[in-house]
Amino acid sequence: MASVPHDHSHDHAHDHDHHPLKWTRFFTTTNHKDIGTMYMWFSFAMFLSGGVMALGIRAELFQPGLQVVRPELFNQLTTLHGIVMIFGAIMPAFVGFANWMLPLQLGAPDMAFARMNNWSFWLLPPAAILLIGSFFVPGGAAAGGWTLYPPLSVQAGMGMDMMIFAVHIMGASSIMGSINIITTILNLRAPGMTMMKLPMFAWTWLITAFLLIATMPVLAGAVTMLLTDRHFGTTFFNAAGGGDPVMFQHIFWFFGHPEVYIIALPAFGVVSQIIPTFSRKPLFGYASMVYATASIAILSFIVWAHHMYTTGLPAAGQLYFMYATMLIAVPTAAKIFNWLATMWRGSITLETPMLFCLGFLFLFTMGGFTGLVLSLTPVDIQLHDTYYVVAHFHYVMVAGALFSAFAAVYYWGPKWTGWMYEEKLGKIHFWWSLIAFNITFFPQHFLGLAGMPRRIPDYNMQFENWNAVSSVGAFLFGFAQIFFIVIVIRMIKGKSGIRAAAKPWDGAEGLEWTVPSPAPYHTFETPPVVK
Amino acid sequence: MSATSHAPGKYFVPEPSKWPLVGSFALLLLAFGAVGTMNKLAWGWWTLAAGSAVLLYMLFGWFGQVIKESESKLYGKNVDISFRWSMSWFIFSEVMFFAAFFGALGFARLHSVPDLASIDSKTLWPNFAGSWPTTGPYIDSPFTPMGAWGIPALNTALLLLSGVWLTLSHHAVIAGHRSKAIGWLALTIVFGVVFLGFQVYEYIHAYSALNLKLTSGIFGSTFFMLTGFHGFHVTVGAIMLFVVLIRLMRGHFTPQNHFAFEAAAWYWHFVDVVWLGLFVIVYML
Amino acid sequence: MGASMMNQTQHLRVSTFKMYGSAMKQRLFGLLALLGSLFMTMPAFAGWAIDLQKPNSAVAEQMYSLHVIITVVCAVIFVLVFGVMFYSLYAHRKSKGHKAANFHENATIEVVWTVIPFLILLVMAWPATKAVLDMRDSSAPEMTIKVTGYQWKWGYDYIHDGFGYVSTLATPLAQIKNEETKGENYLLEVDNPLVVPVGKKIRLLITANDVLHAWWVPALGVKQDAIPGFIRDAWFRADRPGLYRGNCAELCGKEHGYMPIVVEVKTQADYDKWLAGQKDKYGVGKVAAPVIDTKVYPRDELATLGKTVYESAGCIGCHGPAGKGVPGQFPALDGSKMVNGPIADQVALLLNGKPGTAMASFKHLSDKDIAAVIDFTRTSWSNKSAEFVQPIDIAKARFGGKLPDGAAVAGDTKSGDAPKAVTAPASSSALPAKLYFAIGKKDMPSDAKESLDAALAFLKSKGDAKVAITGFTDKTGNRDANLELAKERAKAVRSALEAAGVAKDRIEMKPPAEITGGADNKEARRVEINPA
């Protein structure tokens, strides 16, 4: 979301000032800032398309009966909403932040593989074309839920094939992006920056990238089996040939559960950067934060079947996955306490990035608690595949990832654009989003408890009122994001009239604040030395 | 940034490049081509072929560029370490890809098939015994499984020996004996190609004589997908070694600096190890 | 409202007390449960429901109490933690002149706040473990019912009583389309509920026919995925008679929201009465042969009835009101080869279904209904098939081509009274048998078994007979390649027969007079097995 930085304050003896900084450079660029910018705009475009799908869903659910969309289209909307938001909006947003900020935070001139970096990005538009385009093919888009469970996904039309190839392409993009990030962090740190001096954002991304490399190929394997079951007569997920539909769920969730942390960990990183800044106090328990992040990542590999309690796992399996899942609460709680202790006896100010982090803390903790409720197998039996689960993961994903992404934009935006955003507008955006979010999703807990299944276009009247409330909230939340884009464009155009200093936040720490705002096109061509 | 002005500085940042965009376009064509072909649409094959052509163009162009940069001594120590990290992580991702298929085999064999033959399942499949190998309870097309001690055992020996030849070649590179290195490397590739030839023969034999097919239930599915993906990786590895062979003949490698050789060698050893897993788990057990 | 709240609270306390031993714990959990249920049941009036449904089984009660306890524990921690945060935000603000301290580590407190959550979790794990073990203990059931999920209806088989039926949504389409006022049980009502006796341990064997479904009745505390090809079990023991409603809880396609579950729990006496009625209805235990409808109906009358069957039996769900199906998922009937081709194939398809697809068997329908719906599809939309069937044809197909000896014959039977209890094995038509191959393929088609069985039956019935195998291909492609392909197809059939134990000398390979031919390309890609 950066404007093109024209301010070449670095003293370059050589030729790159002759590079025309025209918009066409984005197609061939090897510059981490350009690529980060593209990631962020792409992510925002996908966020809006996924949002439109969500509003279609909520419009249909405003009242019982069928009004707006047919059930077929409803299922396509829920499926694509999930995939587009996870793979199209949230993950690219954080990869965008990583691209922009990691070289700045590490004191590196660029990412380790600058050319491959551009490929990681440019793979996303083809995937988006496949996903969005699938709505317009015969049979429509994939409609089996974002989890693509067979046999329903084997039954589906060619929209499912497009989804499968989109997942392959996005997986390739993620793996290349992750290899790039890991290599950059491990090999391009400025002299003197030891691992235990890494900024938390870099630490969380290092662990996230590991999770991505470990799980994306597994997802690729799962959807490949789906593809051969669909077209080449294999029977991986078909009992007639000795396969098992539940096997897909095991493989999928071996990817899917770490995926939750792939989304959450970079968000933790952002929050761990911002809270110390606005508390004007170093992060409490840096080492324990690192260990907690690593334990969450490791635990995420051994809890996958808690998404599958109702498939009829043996009692021993249910107990094991219940205990392991409950255990995740321990390092997660440690992180929350660390953030609170960072604020404790600080000197706190409440600028927009801090507000979004506090919103994150509040909502993510709520999502964490409903997660604990769901970890108990007997309770999950009642709540699995109901709106309670929908509420739970939106508290974790929207609050965990989206709120911290907003925080990151307000926090690092001045570095990208050279201008401060308008504080009053930012605060309105925060309160508007927070309230609308809770109106949308808090009632969904009630719906789920009362027995409303998810992924249904129509329901009994006992669910009528909370659905109406939730739909109103969803539209309010949607409009808040239109407001957000206005804020960002006004920031890029410098409407606040306040130029950003190299270090616009007095409590901030780190190498990214030692370069001018906006950050010049090339930074740290000679590595700084960290003491 | 001008790369040359830094050469061979601590860092290397390449010039803007069209190859990523070309590669993305290739994958877009390939994806649509595959979707079209699988759904029997007229434009499917053409799009698939066009996508493959563009992909080949990109691979030649991109790797050509990398080789050129390497030969211009633009890659310093730092880049070398980056390459090592990235190749290791790439191979790790490949390991996880195979893990999904080995996992599927293990799950089906140890869990699904016995479950389909359990007492409760008699309501659905009264006559299914649940032995392994199987076509499953509904597909009625008996086959003979592939024995381990014919071609597969021979193939194991071939791949293991090829690994030995490759190591000998590597030692020759380090010792600066180029012609010896070329000889051993060529032998490695020949062994790889013979391995692939045997695999093709084995597939034909399976289809024609054993009635063992991709559609032979879960055994056929896992057998052909695992060995098929492995064969594909052997092919890719052999192509990598072939490129390295040509570069070796052109004198690109020095005893100190030959990471392309090492990367291809790591990859080759990885496909070796996967084969050992296959041989034990798919053929022997 | 107040009274029901009290009831629920007391009931909860009782159930919670049952679970835990010591008095101290009783008081603690009782208090928590009381608090929780006060909070959770406050506005429990229609349209604003916010709590789990009232449990009607011991397992559901455990789930309910666990949920209350964990929610209260979480709420208390939440208030404490965010109390600290809000205090800090209030007291440690820069605008109040607070200067930042500089501590960033404290090993003691970090250990404390790691250990305390761990201990809380340990305490929570205990009742949860107990509930899991109870929930999964399906041993010693007093009754077993097989539950099958279909797109989009439920089948219930009383496997020890020898009958079963299908349960579908009873809400009229007009209500869904907002053309009528919605009833109280909108989308939660079915034509035939599952009926069980109160207080008995009922074990459910749950499976599915096509895709995943999940059988969920909240009040009974059962949610179990129905997995095609696999049996999963669950159990419940209902505490009180009444009607208990639930939904399919696993996305199963377009009408996932329209396959509710209703369980009617009856007193033992009422259940026995019901059971006797059902056995009577389905003719269980009667020696009498089924009643066959031999009347010949006018074609229009059958087609008109067929439209009603098409809409009520579920055909419309996949194939659509205009017979267009869903491209790529469900085949169109309008212009379909199946509907316009040989009528015997369509009869067989409806009776047997097509395994591995969403097309289930509809043999539970009456002969007249099946005939009617076939006649309807053959005369509707752009279809103009000359062939049509009568109920008697369906009856013959059910019994393998001819009526069983001594079948009672009547002028009519009531719709829905299919002679299910005496279901005959799937028909295997006599020779000549045909196998249809995929384009360009010589692999045995997946539906080959029936034709092979026919050939085997023929060979078995006549000790010295032989069969002749003839392969064909469609018109497209190179003639030489086609000759080869036809031969390969014939060989594939021969190997299959040999594999099934037929001696080599009883099989003849007979080259075709003309390599291609037949009504259409599918018909052309066949291998025929004829008596030699």
Give the tens place of pLDDT for each residue, A356-377.
Answer: 999 999 999 999 999 999 999 9
Q: What is the dihedral of CA C160, C166, C169, C173, to 10 degrees?
A: -170
| A235 at interface of B, judged by CB pairs closer than 8 A | yes
Average pLDDT over residues A378-397: 95
Residues of C in contact with A288 (CB under 8 A): 110
**Are the beta carbons of A277 and A188 closer than 8 angstroms?**
no
How far apart are alpha carbons A115 and C485 in whole angstroms?
Answer: 51
ipTM: 0.94
Backbone angles phi, psi at A329, to 5 degrees: -60, -25
Q: Percent of chain B, pLDDT > 90?
A: 81
| C231 at interface of A, judged by CB pairs closer than 8 A | no
Q: Chain C interface, mutation test: which of B124, B138, B207, B224, most C Cβ atoms within 10 Å?
A: B124
- Shortest distance between the Cα of A233 and any Cα of chain B, in A, equals 5
How far apart are alpha carbons A281 and C99 in whole angstroms?
Answer: 10
Please write the tens of the pLDDT for every residue from A95-132: 999 999 999 999 999 999 999 999 999 999 999 999 99
pLDDT of residue A300: 93
User: What does DSSP assign to residue A415?
Assistant: H
- CATH superfamily to which C433-531 belongs: OmpA-like domain (3.30.1330.60)
pLDDT of residue A17: 46
Nearest residue of chain B to residue A220 (CA atoms): B97
Tell whether the model's pLDDT for residue A340 goes beyond 70.
Answer: yes
Average confidence score pLDDT of chain A: 93
Q: Percent of chain A, pLDDT > 90?
A: 92
CB contact under 8 A, A126 and B31: yes
Locate the domains of chain C by residue range: 2-94+105-136, 143-282, 291-422, 433-531
Locate the domains of chain A by residue range: 29-514
Q: Chain B interface, mutation test: which of C156, C230, C439, most B Cβ atoms within 10 Å?
A: C230
pLDDT of residue C11: 43
Nearest residue of chain B to residue C327 (CA atoms): B39
Average pLDDT over residues A488-492: 96
pLDDT of residue A289: 93
Strands C202-208 and C194-197: unpaired
- Residue showing tokens 């406050």: C42
Question: Between B116, B211, B213, which is nearest C230 by CB?
Answer: B116
Question: Which domains does chain B show, CATH number per domain?
Answer: 1-75 (1.10.287.70), 76-284 (1.20.120.80)
Strands C242-248 and C194-197: unpaired
**Are the beta carbons of C219 and C235 closer than 8 angstroms?**
no
Average pLDDT over residues B72-100: 94
pLDDT of residue A239: 93
Tell whether the model's pLDDT for residue A493 goes beyond 60.
Answer: yes
Average pLDDT over residues A174-187: 96
Which of the other chains make 3 or more beta carbon contacts under 8 angstroms with chain A?
A: B, C
* Nearest residue to C452 via CA among C472, C434, C471, C473: C434
State the CATH class of domain C291-422. Answer: mainly alpha
- Shortest distance between the Cα of C452 and any Cα of chain B, in A, equals 11
CB contact under 8 A, C249 and A310: yes
Residue B8's pLDDT band, with cuts at 50, 70 and 90, is very low
CB contact under 8 A, A183 and B89: yes
pLDDT of residue A441: 96
Q: Which of B55-59, B269-273, C293-297 has the least mean pLDDT?
A: C293-297
Fold of domain C143-282: Immunoglobulin-like (2.60.40)
Which of the other chains make 3 or more beta carbon contacts under 8 angstroms with chain B?
A: A, C
CB contact under 8 A, C66 and A376: yes
Average pLDDT over residues A280-284: 94
How far apart are alpha carbons A430 and A407 in whole angstroms?
Answer: 9
**Are the beta carbons of C283 and C421 closer than 8 angstroms?**
yes
Nearest residue of chain C to residue A336 (CA atoms): C81
pLDDT along chain C (532 residues), means of 10: 41 40 49 52 63 93 95 94 94 89 88 93 94 92 94 92 92 91 92 95 94 96 95 95 95 93 96 93 66 76 84 78 75 84 84 72 81 87 81 78 54 38 38 78 76 77 77 76 81 82 80 72 80 77
- Shortest distance between the Cα of B197 and any Cα of chain A, in A, equals 23
Q: Is the pTM of this model over 0.90?
A: no
Candidate list A306, A415, A429, A445, residue with the active-site label: A306
* Domain boundaries A29-514, corresponding CATH code: 1.20.210.10
